Each structure stands twice: as C-alpha cells, then as structure tokens.
Structure 1
Amino acid sequence: MRDWEDRLLFLETMTGYIQDALYVIDKHGNELFYNNKIERFEPAHRQNMLAELLAVFKSGQPVLDKYQKYMTVDHREVHMLSSFVPIKRNGEIIAVCSINKNITEMANLLNKVIDLQGQLQHHTQTAKQSGTGATYTFSDILGTSSQIQAVIDKAKKAALGCAPVLLTGETGTGKELFAQSIHNYGQAAAEPFVAVNCAAIPETLLEGIIFGTVKGAFTGAENTPGLLEQAGGGTLFLDEVNSMSLVLQSKLLRALEEKRVRRLGDRKEIPIYCRIISATNVDCRTLLREGKMREDFYYRIAVVNLTIPPLRERSEDVLLLAENLLKRFNKIYGKRITSLAPEVASIFAAHKWPGNVRELYHVLEYAVSFGDNETVLTPNHLPDYLRNFYSPPQYFSPPANLPMSALPDILAATEKRLILNALALHKGNITKAAETLGIHRQNLQARMKKLNILKKVNFFEASSCESEF
C-alpha cells in the first residue's frame, strides 16, 4: 500500500473517534474530507459552514473559536465553537478545515461550577466577620529569617498600592497565604477576596467562570456574574495562572487593560474594579522562552513580582514553624506533645523539604495524630520515609580479644562498613558519600574497587549487611 493511502487510512480511523466534527473543502467548495460527527448537521447549517470556509480562502486568515448554533435532524439545539483553518502547500491555500467543538454538553457543568462558586463566596462572606473571604494576614506568616522577612516587607509595600502582583514560588511555599495577607493589609481589605485555581478547571469552563455568562449564551446558561465582577473592588486571585491558555490570556489581558468585561454571549460591557494577584510555581521567564505565556500578559500581571523562598533556603525557620504547628495539632487531636527530641530537630535541620511548608505541616500532623501520651516527639513518630532516611548508621564494632594479626582484616571491614553506611545514607550517590566521609570522589571510587563494593548500593544494605567476621 502506498504511503499516501496509509496516511489517509490513519487519518480516517483517528478522526472517527474524536469528539470534534471535522469538515474540509477545496477552493471550489468540493468536500475533501469529513468525519462521522458532521453527518448530523442540518443541510442548511452545512451551507452556512461552507460560506465560512470559502471566506477563509479569500482572507487567508484563520478564524478561531467562533460561536455558532444549529439544530440537528432530531430537533436538538446544539451550541458549538468553530475554528476555520487554512491548509497551505508552498504558500498556496489548497484547502480549508472546519473544526467544530460541541459545548452544549459542557453547559450544565459550567453552570454548576459557577453556582457552587457563588454559594462558596456567599458562605465565606457570611461566615467571616470581615465578609471578604480572606482569613490570613501577615502575622500568620511565620519566620525570622532574612529571606522571608524581606519578602514580607516588600509584600506590605505592594499591598498599599493597587498594582497587579505575581507570586512565584514552589508548591507548598504559601502563595495563597501571601495573597490573602496582601489583600487584608491594603485599603480594599473590606472588599471581597475571590480565588480560583486555573489548573483545576477545564479551559472551556474557566472562561465562563472568570467572565460570566448571560441567559441564552448556550443551553442552560443563566445570567451569572463572573469572578471579575464578583470580586468587586477587592481582589481576584488567579492561582496557577501559568496553566491558562494563550487564547484566554489574550482575552483576560484585554479586560484588564480596558477595565471592562463582557460576559459570554453578551454585547454589553461591564466595568471592573478588582485588583489581580496571580501565582505560579513555574519561573515565568521559562514560560516566555517556551512560548507558553504571552509577553504582554506577563507584564500586565507582574507589575510587582514577589518570589517566595523555599523552606530549604530558610532552614532557621523550620523549628519555629514546627513549634507553632505542634501547638495547633495538639489542640486538634487532644495531645500534649510540647517539644522535639534532639534527634528530630537534627532530622528537620538536615531535610531539604521538597514539599516546603506544606510537607512540614503533613509530617507534624502525622506525628501528632499517631502519638499517645508522650510530651516529646521522637523519631518513632515520624513518617517512615523521613525516619528511615535519617536513621543514624549502625557502625561496625569489632569483637573484643581478637589477635593482632587480625588488624588488617578489622580495618578493611571497618572501612567497608563506613563506606556502605555513607552510600546507604545518600542512596548510592558517590559524590555525596565522599563528602560525608571527608574524602575525594576519586579516592572513594578507588577504595570501593579495592573492597569489592558495587557502585549501586541498596539503600538498606548498610543496615542488613552482616559483619565480615
């Protein structure tokens, strides 16, 4: 079978399983290709689509996400977003493809999400005395290190203005804590604080949630204000803003620049007054280089850019945070653990905390919840992954009353045990093991070869390996 026939077979098979309706024509309006989803279109609507496709032949420009409505042969109303894309060969348009996404099925879910968002906002406003939905302040951000204090000072200055703020930091560093604190420290503290996680909501739903909808925009749509309106004169917090598509970035950029928003399906523009605080766990310079974030959008949302340091860069704050969390979990679980054993303090100081403050939170909640009547938190209370990794090595102790002639064997066995311990502690990382032993990497490799130690050492080998004697 020829190559073009294979490709056609692959194309027909794959497009038969996708949910979007595809329709391709040439410059004379002849049908070149369509999948089975297009067959349910009314003939009249296919004529309308044909006119759109031919218009793209003339303009040469794609038309993206155009809202359309049609009736199926069984009299169901369908709403969809259509894109018309020219297909070029050697610079000449040889065909135009229509890609039609059915958004009717998403309508009910969209309305449910918007309704739940409104209920949550109402509940938060009535539950909190301030009525804003922001409960944290700068006093809740613990830490005496110069790194965290510098960010707090900068955030307080930013809070007194109205410029958009971008919070950058690893997962678990407390970006929403800072966002709420900035809101509560500013002049709009009495206004609403509305938050949305951009990565947790499908793109097609997120647009309606942010901009709002009007009745009739699609089946089941109601007159619902978007988050930009719900925030009033307060703050809209866009968490994980880096997951927002380029198309939505462009639409949001326009709204922020013009200070006006248009609900989906509406022609009327509504003024907006809220401040935007965004957060990302990815360096935006990387996103800009990769073309995943619009440059103009970045400069709009990052007038003030605050980078929250990870916990490993402010290790002196770990014990202060641990002490505070212990008090909190003692109240929750009815325990009376008041201090950390020295071994636990050493483990906390040595750990790099890849999950940052959130990881410390979960470690201490685990430890306190499994405690009994102790007043001191010991390594036995810690999760297995933390306790096992930092357990002190069981160094070899040679038997007593050995003859002097056994000294070379004793030294060799002791050296092997020390090397195995170091390798086990660092999961086989030779460079780190050499640093622990106080020797160069090349020296360690030579000693390993001499003592017949494999390069890849099992993590538990040091504790399970028996004595040479």
Structure 2
Amino acid sequence: MIAASLGQLLKSFAEHVIITDAIANALWFDESAAALFPLQVGENAFDALAPSFANKAEPLPASIEKDGKEYLLQRHLFAQNEQTLQILLLNSATDVLASLKLKLVCYEEIIQSMNEGIVLSDAEGKVLMYNKAQEKLEGMKQEEMVGKYLWDAYKYYDPKLSEHQRVLETRKPIISRYGVHSCIANITKPVKYSSYPIIKDNQALAVFSISINDFHLKHLLDETIEVKRNIIIPSTLEKRVLHNGTTYTFDNIKGKSPALKKIIREAQNIATHQTDVLIVGETGTGKELFAQSIHNYSKRASSPFVAINCAAIPENLLESTLFGTVKGAFTGATNQMGLFEHAQDGTLFLDEINSMPLVLQSKLIRVLEEREIRRLGTNAVTPIHCKIISASNEDPKKLIENQKLRSDLYYRIARTSLLIPPLRERVEDTEVLIDYFILTASRKLNKQIKSLTRELQQILLHYRWPGNIRELAHVIDNLVINANPDDELLDTEHLPMYLKDFFQSPQNQEIYQQTKSTRPIKSAINPAQKRLIQQTLESVDWSVTKAAKILGTTRQNLQYHIRKLGIKNHAQAD
C-alpha cells in the first residue's frame, strides 16, 4: 500500500507521521501518533488531532497542544497515479524552536565567516544583517547599519534610489553589478555585487546582496584594456551611446599625468556621494566628460543624464526650459515638463552656469534648498530628486567679484568642487592625447598615419593650447586630413596654412629652432641627407632598424624619409 510505504519512509523525518487521503480520512499512522491521539483508519484525522480542525479551515502549519505539550503540525501533498495523499508531520514545538535557534546560530556564524560581504534587508528596507566582510568592504560597523533603513544608513535618503527596494518590487535579481558604495579615507571602494529577492509563498519577504572587493581585479583589467588599446586598433572608434543620455565614462578620459589621475580619483569619490557638484575648468578641458563619468560611476547610472548649456539658451527661454510651464502661463505656453523633471532621479548638468542671469540664479538657490520647483504659471510645487552638477569656465571668485555669480549660489552648488587643470599644465597627457587623436582620425578618414615627426611633436608639446583638448583634437584632425593616403608620419608640411602661419609666428620661432637643432635627420630634401641615409643603410645591409638606431631616429621616421627622398636598394634591384 502506498500510504504505508510512504509513512515508513518518512518516520525518520518527524516524531509523528500520519497519512490521509484527499479528504483527510486516515490511511496510515505510526504507533507513537496512535498512542498520542485517538486516530482510526478511515476516520477524519483532523477530528482526532484537535476539535478546531474539524472544519478544516485552520491554516497550516499550526500549533497543537496535547497533555500540556505543544506540537507543530505541518501538511504536505503527495500525488501519484491520480491519487492525492496528505502527509501530516508533528514535532515537538520546543524541539523545533531549539532546532531553529541552532540553525540560526550556525547560519549567522557561517555568514559572518564568509569572505564575501552580505547585506540583508526586509520588505520595509531595514537592514537585518550586515556581516564582517561587508564592514571591511565599506568601512562601516554592524551597529551603525542593522536596524536602519538602507537609504538612511547609506545617506542617500531617498527610497526610490534603493536597489534592494527595486529588487523587492520587480522580484528580479541584479546580477554582477559593479559600483562604488563608500569611500574610506578619501579612497573609493569599488565593489562587485549581486542582489537577490527572497520569495516565499509568492510573497517577497526580503532582499540580500553578496559583494566582493573587486579593486585589484579591476586594476588589472584596466591595465590589460589599456595595453590592448595601445596594440590593437579597434574595429570602430565611434562614440558608444549608453542609453541614459551619456556617451562617456572614466575609461574615456585619456592621459597619464599625476594631476589627471588625482582629479579622476577625486571625481570617483564625488560620485559615491549625493551632494551637488561644481566643476571648474577652462573651455575645452572636458567638463561634461567628467560630469557624465561621475553620473555613470554613481548609483544614478541607470537614470537619465540631462545636460543644458546656459549660455546657449536665450534668457527669456532658459527659465521655462528648466522649470517647465503650464498652459496659459504666457502666449503659446503649453503643459510642458522642465529639465529638472526630465532628469527624474538622475543628474541635471548645468554647463556654463556663470552665464545664467542673476534673477534666475536666485530662483535656482531656492530649488537647491527646497528640492522642489514650480512650473511657470502655477503655484503648485513639484519635488525633484536629481543630482545637480554645474560647470563654470571661469574662476568663481572672479565671477563673484564681477557680480556675474551670486555668492550664495556658489556656496550651494560648490558643496563639492572639482578643478580640472588646463592641458598646458599636463604635458604628459598631451602626448597621450596626440597619439589617441591620430589613431581615431586615421581610422575615421581611412588613413595610415602611425605617428608624427619630432619637429611637429615638439611644436605641439610646447604650444600652450588655449583651447585645451578641444583645440588639440581640431589640429590633429586637420593634420590627418592634409596627409597623403600613403603617409605614415605627420609633419609640419601637413599643417593647414592658417595654423602654419600661427605656429611659425615670432613667439613660436624659438621652438622651431630648438627642435630643428636636435633632429638627427632633417625633413628638407638635400643631397647630403640622402647620401647619409643611403650610406648608413648599405653599411647595415639595408636593415632599417639598425640604420635608424645609428641615425638616432625611429624606424617609422626613417621609412618615411626613405620614401620621401626616393632612396632605393640598388643591390636588390640588380
């Protein structure tokens, strides 16, 4: 009989086992259950267990009291060959509680001993568990975290930004996410984590995250990627759209100077906090590139990034563009959201904020203080949740002195400031950027340019670049455009006339003379130079590498002059 076989099999799993049919008539029970309850085969088992079960409405599992002892009753269904059986298991509640307590102690000890960080929150968003590994990852203490709401513990103060709450609502895990949740001693702590919902009886009860410190792995990956970039020409160098209104991340910032590395670290640190930011830098230094990178490095990366240049919008339209309008606010006005609302819980980037009218600056102060806006034409307020990043291409202190920037606005937007140094102060970055722009322009224009002559290199490195990176990219583009299809080196002859005139102006002549005097191979075509290269090549059996070493130049530069001077290997021709 199936009931008896099943009962015998389950005896080791519970103190008392009862098997019934689909309508609760007893089919089999063990001796201990029969000694404790007046069970009869063929009769309703619930009637024997407790009168309260007679109507079978009692929810299971449930507690049953017998002879002063409490038992926990659990029910499971078993179906086979169109026959449904009910399995009733009874265990001493005291023993069950003791077992649960033991399991809880064991589970907690296991979790506290793990190398991976664990954060567990309940359905309300309160932290239930925060293990020792997570303490090391984030530099916080369990007592500071347990019992607090996640948004209060992590100080972003908005439940809508909580990934745990998002996982709870969607019931979908977030797998292998990379982000920065904290900063210890001004050093950001990158973490790779996954978050999972805990679902029981179709109800989402809690969410837990598993985190590992991915700093060393990320550092190695960054180095590997950079090496590959320097060796392999990518199949495409077009901008990559990230579908949140941005194109750039910190990986797009090119350079190797200590000043740039420091500013990137500062920006990554800023990204971990929810405060508003002011970025200061000359025109062309890449302020929006940093603003987008901060957005994509933060918890807001999945939300919109909305940018506006305050100098590009007429004064009479800037206010309605930022705050929005209601129908009838002015002639032709319609119900229209402003950029503060479009940004949602993402980032609003106000470029050239120093161009914003003073009257509008005073209204922006209130927005920053109250975190709410009013559309033009209504008194109704709308709360905003976006981070605000502002940028100025002039020194804020001078702007305040010249009454172009309100001091009270400055102190609010500059709670966290980022100063991007001009390119002339980062010569090491100029070298990297020259190579990068040559690579991208050559790829885009289907040219074969590999590098540039020493003379041109020295001119570019010594030039002060008042237009910064934007001007450098423009110059390199012009050089590549003017190069012949088979050229591999850029030279001064490739400079457009207006740039050639500028670089050869009196203030740049000194650079020209210095670079020419240090070049072992002159770019001008003359018999002496041709004879020198010819003799050197013949002396080393036409080994271009050895000849370049003797002549004090690069292999690419020597190949360029061989073609330019029409030097032939006569021995090979014979």
Are the equivalent residues in 2 in contact too, given 1:173–1:358 (CA < 8 A)?
yes
Task: Identify the residue that residue 506 of structure 2 maps to in structure 1.
Answer: 425
Q: Using a 3 Å threshold, how does the CA distance of structure 1 residues 389 and 215 change in structure 2: closer, same or farther?
A: closer
Task: Identify the residue that residue 380 of structure 1 maps to in structure 2.
Answer: 493
Offset of residue 197 of structure 1: 0.5
Higher relative contact order (CA 8 A, sep 6+): 1
3-state secondary structure, aligned to 2:279: strand
Rounded to whole Å, the distance in 1 between the matches of 2:418 and 2:299 is: 20
Offset of residue 425 of structure 1: 2.9
Letter of the 2:459 counterpart: I
Rounded to whole Å, the distance in 2 between the matches of 1:146 and 1:196 is: 31
Are the equivalent residues in 1 in contact too, given 2:423–2:430 (CA < 8 A)?
yes
Are the equivalent residues in 2 in contact too, given 1:130–1:190 (CA < 8 A)?
no
Task: Identify the residue that residue 396 of structure 1 maps to in structure 2.
Answer: none
Offset of residue 388 of structure 1: 3.9
Rounded to whole Å, the distance in 1 between the matches of 2:490 and 2:508 is: 26
Q: How does 1:450-469 map to 2 (within 5 A)?
A: none
Q: Using a 3 Å threshold, how does the CA distance of structure 1 residues 290 and 193 change in structure 2: closer, same or farther?
A: same
Residue 333 of structure 2 is aligned to residue 221 of structure 1 = yes
3-state secondary structure, aligned to 2:341: helix
Letter of the 1:307 counterpart: L
Which residue among 237, 246, 251 is the counterpart of 1:139?
A: 251
3-state secondary structure, aligned to 1:293: coil
Offset of residue 427 of structure 1: 7.7
Are the equivalent residues in 1 in contact too, given 2:286–2:469 (CA < 8 A)?
yes
Task: Identify the residue that residue 320 of structure 1 maps to in structure 2.
Answer: 432
3-state secondary structure, aligned to 1:380: helix
The TM-score normalised by the length of structure 1 is: 0.56
User: Which residues of structure 2 form unaligned runs of 5+?
Assistant: 1-238, 516-574
Residue 343 of structure 2 is aligned to residue 231 of structure 1 = yes
Rounded to whole Å, the distance in 2 between the matches of 1:207 and 1:239 is: 15
Percent of matched pairs sharing the same residue: 51
The TM-score normalised by the length of structure 2 is: 0.46
Q: How does 1:273-284 map to 2 (within 5 A)?
A: 273-284=385-396
Larger radius of gyration: 2
Q: Using a 3 Å threshold, how does the CA distance of structure 1 residues 312 and 249 change in structure 2: closer, same or farther?
A: same
Q: How does 1:350-361 map to 2 (within 5 A)?
A: 350-361=462-473
Rounded to whole Å, the distance in 1 between the matches of 2:477 and 2:241 is: 28
Rounded to whole Å, the distance in 2 between the matches of 1:300 and 1:338 is: 48
Offset of residue 329 of structure 1: 0.8
Provide, for residues 344-373 of structure 1, a one-character-per-residue CA deviation record: whole Å limited to 9, x for no partner. 111111111111101110001111112112
Rounded to whole Å, the distance in 1 between the matches of 2:458 and 2:368 is: 49
3-state secondary structure, aligned to 2:278: strand
3-state secondary structure, aligned to 1:330: helix
Letter of the 1:357 counterpart: I
Q: Using a 3 Å threshold, how does the CA distance of structure 1 residues 171 and 128 change in structure 2: closer, same or farther?
A: closer
Which residue among 379, 382, 386 is the counterpart of 1:267?
A: 379
3-state secondary structure, aligned to 1:426: helix
Q: How does 1:149-168 map to 2 (within 5 A)?
A: 149-168=261-280
Are the equivalent residues in 1 in contact too, given 2:482–2:496 (CA < 8 A)?
no
Q: How many residues align?
A: 275
3-state secondary structure, aligned to 2:426: helix
Instruction: Say what the alpha-carbon RMSD is for the aligned residues.
Output: 2.3
Q: Using a 3 Å threshold, how does the CA distance of structure 1 residues 171 and 130 change in structure 2: closer, same or farther?
A: closer
Rounded to whole Å, the distance in 1 between the matches of 2:301 and 2:508 is: 49
Q: How does 1:58-457 map to 2 (within 5 A)?
A: 130-372=242-484, 373-390=486-503, 425-426=506-507
3-state secondary structure, aligned to 1:250: helix
Are the equivalent residues in 2 in contact too, given 1:165–1:306 (CA < 8 A)?
yes
User: Which residues of structure 1 form unaligned runs of 5+?
Assistant: 1-126, 392-423, 437-469
Q: Using a 3 Å threshold, how does the CA distance of structure 1 residues 300 and 130 change in structure 2: closer, same or farther?
A: same
Are the equivalent residues in 1 in contact too, given 2:479–2:490 (CA < 8 A)?
yes
